[in-house]
Amino acid sequence: MRLFNNLKHRLYWISPFIIFLAISIPLISAFYLYDFNKGFEYSDYISSITFFSLYQSLLSALLSIIIGTVFAYLLIKHSYIFGIKYIINSLSILFVLPTIITIFGILSIYGNFFQVYGFFGILLGHVILNVPLVTRVIFQTLKDISPNERMLADQMNLNFWGTFLAVEWPVIKKNIPSLFVLISFICFVSFTPILILGGSPKYSTLEVAIYHAVMFADEFNVAFNLLILQILICGSIYFIFFRNFKSKNFIIDEHKEYKTLTVISSKHIIEYLVLTLISILVFSPIVFIFIKGINLTLFEVLNSFYFWSALGTTFLIGCLSGVLSIILTYGNLVFLDKNQNSSEFWFYILIIFSPGILAVGYYIFFNEIIDSSISNIVIIIIINSIITLPFTYNYLSPSFFRVSKEHEDISKSINIYGTKRFFLVDWPRLREPLVTAFCVSSILSASDLVIISFFGTNDLSTLTQTIYRLMGNYRMDEAYAVSLLLLIYCFIYFMISYKLILRKWNT
């Protein structure tokens, strides 16, 4: 017990140092192998992929915001319809599901009707991937509107647009700037959608170009030029926009219920149609994977060694990355709480360092600089836990600071500190956001493709990488089967984590 108290006491200043070290290693690695005699070579190719990276990310963010806002508005307006509740609850899970499953579903469905390789496919993929996040945040915001405001609008006999501009729009627009910048970040450093749906170098981005330069061309100077350029662009966006617009209410579910007395009417036929079309757009790739995954090769996959090996690796990486991410996040939260003048800057600056940048930096650091014999799986776990820190922080920080503020004086007055305070005071109030943050960071870590692409081997492969390899070998039925099993794994992982952890501590 004393050891735990000492660990918690020291963790709050060790965690910020670990984050600083994690950011420094990729930069040190870049300068170590960089040939300064060649300098920065800004070619037409770099100019082209830089422009495309910015253009597709901004347009993807704009479309995601528009569609997600419309979807959220229609969901809350017609929440009386059967099945809407299940759609809303599913949106939170869709955002953290492995990206490759959604992209594979898009390729399989819409590839039969459209040319999904290229610019259109990238936009379609990013919209389907990010609309759930936008919808969930805007929906949560709309639930906070007081029923009195809506009643007042009805008493004033405002029409549709009058009610929307007077009641909904003022609360929606508060989240749009920060959502737009956040999704632009996500799309700018996107890897899997570009890698699979890009189709050609013409539709490549900085993130994918860095990967190709290191893994296939062995051109470290080109990779570092792209890496530095991406850091500069992401850093500029972050310092100009994101720090000012960042919302403290991202991905927080207060479980508030919104009640409405509206009844189904033929007047809303267009709204029902739009609601149905967006639902089909968002959920069809996942539903398609469920349908196609049940095929003759499913039992062969279940009896194969490669599947169980990949499943074990996926579980190990996800679980340990989630635990490490929670420990680092909690330590930094304690640090911020004890040092009121400190900033959460260190958490959100990690957004600038994409998975590709960190993977390249660590790849060079461990293979070229120190020639370490550290197992690749350990490196993968470390990088994944660092990448998921901003998401873990967003889930934990509001609850942590609220609980700390409410209980600080009482804890001091009755002399409860360390382990005793954590289990008696903090844990009962924080267990749900802690478990949620753990599940999210675990799934995000286990489903990452770019990091496992750098450090994975034939003997070290996750389910995500297995799906990508099967697709590349045109073993599509097996890819569908593994995708279905990965989906089932993600849902079971969420459910078991909640059941085991929360039930254990509730009894």
Mean per-residue pLDDT over the chain, rounded:
81
Which pLDDT score is estimated for 165?
Answer: 72
Model confidence at 71, in pLDDT bands (50, 70, 90)?
A: very high
pTM here? Answer: 0.85
For the 47-293 domain, the top CATH level (class) is mainly alpha
Residue 10 CB coordination number (10 Å): 11
Q: Which tens digits make up the pLDDT trace of 219-237? A: 777 888 888 888 888 888 7
Domain boundaries, the chain: 1-35+294-507, 47-293
pLDDT band, very low/low/confident/very high, at 304 (cuts 50, 70, 90): very high
pLDDT for res 410: 64
- Over residues 126-147, the pLDDT tens digits come to 999 999 989 988 888 887 776 6
Q: In the predicted model, what is the mean pLDDT of residues 419-446?
A: 79
Task: Assess whether the region 1-35+294-507 and the region 47-293 belong to the same CATH fold.
Answer: yes
Give the pLDDT confidence score for residue 253 in this predicted structure: 46
The pLDDT value recorded for residue 220 is: 78
Distance between CA 258 and CA 350 in Å, rounded? 35
Compare 254 and 332 and report the one with higher pLDDT. 332
Reply yes or no on whether the pLDDT at 257 is more than 70: no
**Where would I find the H helices in 238-370?**
243-245, 269-293, 298-302, 305-338, 345-348, 355-364
Say what angle helices 169-188 and 220-237 make with each other, to 10 degrees.
170
Which range, of 12-21, 158-167, 295-304, averages the lowest pLDDT? 158-167
What 3-state class would DSSP assign to 145? Answer: coil
CA 155/CA 163 separation, integer angstroms: 11
**pLDDT on residue 503:** 59
- Of the listed ranges 297-311, 313-327, 367-381, the least confidently predicted one is 367-381
CA distance 204 to 233: 16
> How much is the pLDDT for 181?
84
Helices first, then strands: H and E counts in the chain: 25, 0
**Is-contact 46 204, C-beta < 8 A?**
no
CATH class (in words) of the domain with range 1-35+294-507: mainly alpha
Percent of the chain with pLDDT over 90: 28
User: Has residue 277 got a pLDDT over 70?
Assistant: yes
- Do residues 101 and 289 make contact, with C-beta atoms less than 8 angstroms apart? yes
